Amino acid sequence: MISQSLFNNPIKLKRCTGLTPEQFNQLSIGVEPLWNEAEEKRLSRLNPNRKRAIGAGHPYTLKTIKEKIFSILLYYKTYPAFWFLGLIVGLDASNVCRLIQRLRPLIEKAADPELEIYLKKAVSDIQKQKGIKKISSWEELKKEFPEIAEILIDATEQQRHRPKKRIQKKYYSGKKKKHTLKTQLIANSAGKILDVSKTYPGSVHDLEVFRREKTSKYIPKEAKTHLDKGYTGVKKEYPMLNFLIPFRRNRGKKELSRAEKIQNTKLSKIRVLIEHVIAKVKKYRLLSEVFRNKVEYYNQDFKNIAALINFRLEFTT
């Protein structure tokens, strides 16, 4: 069983969930009404003619919403097998699995409900603003919409279990020499995650993910967009946008000029911020170890963890 004293122990709670007691309490307050609503719908749908009141019957082992949230956050942070997680929280493996499935759609909604629409909404707000006050430069954009004046984009890969033979080639990453899952992240210079893409097989190139996600539609043309060398060629495809990409030494070129090296150093000092964001995401072991669950769950779990990163960021500003 989960000791109630754990929720008031800052060190142990953060090691287990990644959250401080204040953050954990606030998240619990956000999840509780969503959980109650989802459970009412689920139980009513299972038996529309039920006579027993919802919540009646054998009491649930994890009585409080805090215990339930602790279970899924511990799962994300340490990524144990369900049978082992069950030993910790006092459930068997099948009940732990069902609990995770029920909580999975709720974490993002409670932690950062605007994660999926934030960038689209910001671009829409800029279009409305242009009718009032014209934004034609980066300086004006930074003044009116500082949160999206400087955007950083990168894709991250995670190894997955070897898939069935017929789809092995699809998931094989030539870069990692493994079967991987790839996800594109968009963040701003403050470290806030603005968007999480769908999940793609490891064989899909970073630039192809950019194309399939139609990311160019949701980037203000006045914004400075930082990319790595893997996106070389994107400027020709989208000349209306302001992409900042490090210089790359071509095969026929011996070395970069001094000016190009200086420029690359300046860009790397900014672009390292997206690496810091990816590092925060990877601290949750579910996104750093070999992913061994169903692939269809992966993207929602990724978004939940990204929402938790943004949720924690709110407490530092």
* Per-position DSSP letters for 264-300, written without gaps between them: HHHHHHHHHHHHHHHHHHHTSGGGTS-B-S-HHHHHH
Question: Which pLDDT belongs to residue 207?
Answer: 93
pLDDT tens for each residue of 90-120: 899 999 999 999 999 999 999 999 998 888 8
DSSP state of 132: H
Question: Which pLDDT belongs to residue 118?
Answer: 87
Question: Which pLDDT belongs to residue 127?
Answer: 73
Question: Which pLDDT belongs to residue 41?
Answer: 85
Task: Give the residue among 66, 56, 47, 51 at the shortest CA–CA distance from 6.
Answer: 66
Domain ranges (residues) in the chain: 4-111, 118-282
pLDDT tens for each residue of 174-197: 989 999 999 999 999 999 999 999
Q: Which residues of the chain have pLDDT under 70?
A: 1, 46-51, 54-59, 129-133, 253, 317
Question: Which pLDDT belongs to residue 43?
Answer: 79
Question: Which pLDDT belongs to residue 58?
Answer: 66
Question: Which pLDDT belongs to residue 8?
Answer: 85
Token representation of residue 138: 């980066």
